[in-house]
Amino acid sequence: MGSYNFFPLQPFVPIVLGGVELLNFSARNLNQDVDLPYLAAVQYNRNVVGWVLGIGFELYVSENLVFNGKGLYHLTNTAYLDDFDKLAYDEFVKAGKGAVITDAIKTGSGNDNFLTFGLGISYYIFGDQDVDDDRIDRLDAEG
């Protein structure tokens, strides 16, 4: 995943993030360690390549102490994170017991996308105090 810091020398630094992710998933019921039944019927792929987009921030409380946060939107390229796809199900039911599992049913009709977010605190022990490479430490330049 890549990121871009808009104002790296300021106390508040907004960040834009983006990248590719590899996702392996297994839809299961709560308190049961078995796959949900649609996987056995359809045999969809549980390993997918997806995209991730996000925004975040770093707030420098001091030179080495940072409060940070980010929110990520995951575009998964699968319709089966929850083991169900309505269009594939309708096609499967319409055909009855003699249903042929086509590639369209294995792929599904939509994408199960999701959001994640987090907050954190970082402490930089060995940070580079000369962030702009002018051979003057940041604290000396501000001082």
Average pLDDT, the chain: 79
The single-letter DSSP state of residue 97 is: G
Task: Band the pLDDT of 3: cuts 50, 70, 90.
Answer: confident
Write the burial class of residue 25 (CB in 10 Å: 0-12 exposed, 13-18 middle, 19+ buried).
middle
**Cα separation of 123 and 61, whole Å?**
10
What is the C-alpha to C-alpha distance for residues 52 and 2, in angstroms, rounded to an integer? Answer: 10
Across-strand partners of 59?
A: 12, 67
Q: 70 Cβ partners below 8 Å, 6+ apart? A: 15, 17, 54, 55, 56, 57, 117, 118
Query: Per residue in 55-106, pLDDT tens?
Result: 999 998 887 899 999 999 999 888 877 777 777 777 777 776 666 666 666 6
3-class DSSP state of 120? strand
Cβ-based neighbours of 107, under 8 Å, separated by 6 or more: 44, 79
pTM (predicted TM-score): 0.71
